[in-house]
Amino acid sequence: MAAKIYTITSGKGGTGKSIFAVNLAAALAGLAKKTLLIDADLGMSNIGLMLGLENSKITLHEVLADEANVADALYDGPNGLKVLPCGISLQGFKKADPARLKDVIAEVSPNFEFIIIDTATGINHVTASSIEVCDEVIMVLTPEITSITDGSKMRVFSTMLGKEVTGIVLNRTMPVHDEIYREKLVSSVDMNILEVLPEDVSIPNSIAGKSPVVTKYPYSEISIAMNRLAALLCGIKMPEPEEGKPQKKQKNEKKRVVAAKLPFSQSKK
Ligand SMILES: Nc1ncnc2c1ncn2[C@@H]1O[C@H](COP(=O)(O)OP(=O)(O)OP(=O)(O)O)[C@@H](O)[C@H]1O
Ligand SMILES: [Mg+2]
C-alpha cells in the first residue's frame, strides 16, 4: 500500500490551510481511512496547538534533523488519526532539513491510505519540499481577489515542481459570496472549486477546544462540507443532510458574519 498524499497550500497566509488540513485529515480518519497528518510548516507550525500536541518532545524538527526516528514522532489524534506535529522553536527550524521530508514520506507511506501535509505560506524551499513529495495539491483560498491572485502564482510554482493543483477550497465565504460571485472570482484563474467552506464561529471555538470542528461540531455546515470533501477523495457519496435524519443544530451554528454587499453579488440581478 502507498498512501495518497495531498499537500495543502495557498499563496497568501492565513487562508485556513492548517485548520482545513486538520479537519480533512480527521474527516478521512472518521471514514475509517488510515490517515496521517503532517505539519510541514517548519517555521510557524500550528497543528500541535490545534490538536493539543504542543508539548510533544519529538517532532518533525527532530526527525528532519536526523535526531529521531519518525515512528517516535507519531502521535494519536481524533478518530484514530495519526499526527506528525512540528516543533515551534527557532532552533528546531534551524536544524531541520526540509530536503529530508521525502525520506520521511517514503518511510511512512506504506502504513497509510492518506497523508495530508500542511505547508508554510509563500514560495520558498520549505513549501517546495512539501509540494515535491505529494500526489496532488489542494489550495485553500479566501474569496478575495488578492488571495485568488496569489493562489494563481502558487499554482504556477506547483506546476514548475511538476505537480498540478487538483482544485481550490474556497474558505471563509459569507452569504454575499454567492455562486455568481464565486464563479466570477475564480474564472480568471481556471481552477476547479472542490468545496466551499463558510465563515463559521465553530472554527475558532474548535481551535480553543483543541479539537477538529468535524468532531467537536459534527453537524455544523462547515463539518458537513469537510466530510463531503473527504468522502469525495475516497470515492464515496455522502448522503446530503436532508436525505438522512434531521441535523442537530449546534449552539453557534447559525452565527455568521454579515458583510457589506460586494460588487459581484449585485450582478445576479
Ligand atoms: N471557515 C472559517 N471560519 C472562521 N474562522 C476561520 C475559518 N477558517 C479559518 N479561520 C480562522 O483563520 C485563522 C487562520 O487559519 P489557519 O491558521 O488555518 O490559516 P493558515 O492558512 O494555516 O495560516 P498560515 O498561512 O499562517 O499558516 C484562524 O485563526 C482560524 O480561526
Ligand atoms: Mg498554517
Task: Tell me the residue length of the chain.
Answer: 269
Contacts of 235 (CB under 8 A, 6+ apart): none
CB of residue 221 inside a 6 A radius of ligand 1: no
Q: What is the 3-state secondary structure (H, E, C) of 61-82?
A: HHHHCCCCCHHHHCEECHHHCE
151-155, 181-185, 212-216, 238-242: least confidently modelled range: 238-242
Give me the half-sphere count of Cα atoms (radius 13 Å) on the Cβ side of residue 68: 20
Q: Which residue is it, cell 451554528? A: 253
Per the structure, the count of domains in the chain is 1
CATH number at residue 188: 3.40.50.300
Is 42 within 8 Å of 60 (Cβ atoms)?
yes
Measured in angstroms, how far is the CA atom of residue 242 from the centroid of ligand 2?
Answer: 33
Which atom of ligand 1 lies nearest, measured to the CA of 20? 18
Q: How far apart are CA 37 and CA 186, in angstroms?
A: 28
Determine the structural domain holding residue 17 and report its residue range.
4-266
pLDDT at residue 83, as a whole number: 98
Work out the widest C-alpha separation in the chain, in whole angstroms: 61
Sign of the Cα pseudo-torsion (194, 120, 20, 32, in order): positive
The pLDDT of residue 27 is above 80: yes
Shortest-distance ligand to the CA of residue 143: 1
Spacing of C-alpha 37 from chain mean position: 9
Look at ligand 1, atom 26, and give the residue with the nearest C-alpha: 14
User: Residue 85: which of 134, 135, 25 has the closest Cα?
Assistant: 25
Measured in angstroms, how far is the CA atom of residue 188 from the centroid of ligand 2?
Answer: 26
* pLDDT per position as a tens digit, 136-183: 999 999 999 999 999 999 999 999 999 999 999 999 999 888 888 888
CB of residue 16 inside a 6 A radius of ligand 1: yes
Which atom of ligand 1 lies nearest, measured to the CA of 207? 31
* pLDDT per position as a tens digit, 73-110: 999 999 999 999 999 999 999 999 999 999 999 999 99
DSSP class of residue 151? H
CB of residue 223 inside a 6 A radius of ligand 1: no
Measured in angstroms, how far is the CA atom of residue 235 from the centroid of ligand 1?
Answer: 27
pLDDT at residue 258, as a whole number: 29
* pLDDT per position as a tens digit, 116-142: 999 999 899 999 999 999 999 999 999
pLDDT at residue 242, as a whole number: 56
